[in-house]
Amino acid sequence: MKNCCKCNTKFKYIEILKSIWNIGGYQYLKCRKCNTSFEIYKGMKIILTILVCMPILFTPLLSKYKNIDIIMFLCSYIIILIFTSPFWINFKIKK
């Protein structure tokens, strides 16, 4: 899990998850102790966007399967992506 680079406070999983998958867009991650704000690296935003869109691009290749199989695959993929993202998304101090 991620730590604050100033005071070494460990961020909670749910805090990171909310900052990445906020409905209104990406949200800043704020340290509880020192109030330092962190933002997601731009490169990580691009990677995340590509990973979200990738299954949509490959859906025509899955056309030989039943629609329910495709829907189950896409749902599983998105759920796995959402719940693993706090482990591999990197943050930097907001300027």
3-state class (DSSP) for residue 79: helix
The amino acid occupying position 79 is: I
pLDDT of residue 1: 58
3-state class (DSSP) for residue 36: coil
pLDDT digits (tens, 9 = 90+) for 53-83: 888 787 777 767 777 777 888 889 999 999 9
Q: What is the mean pLDDT of residues 15-24?
A: 86
Q: What is the DSSP-derived secondary structure letter of residue 10?
A: B
* Positive or negative: CA dihedral 62, 51, 20, 76: positive
CA distance 67 to 82: 23
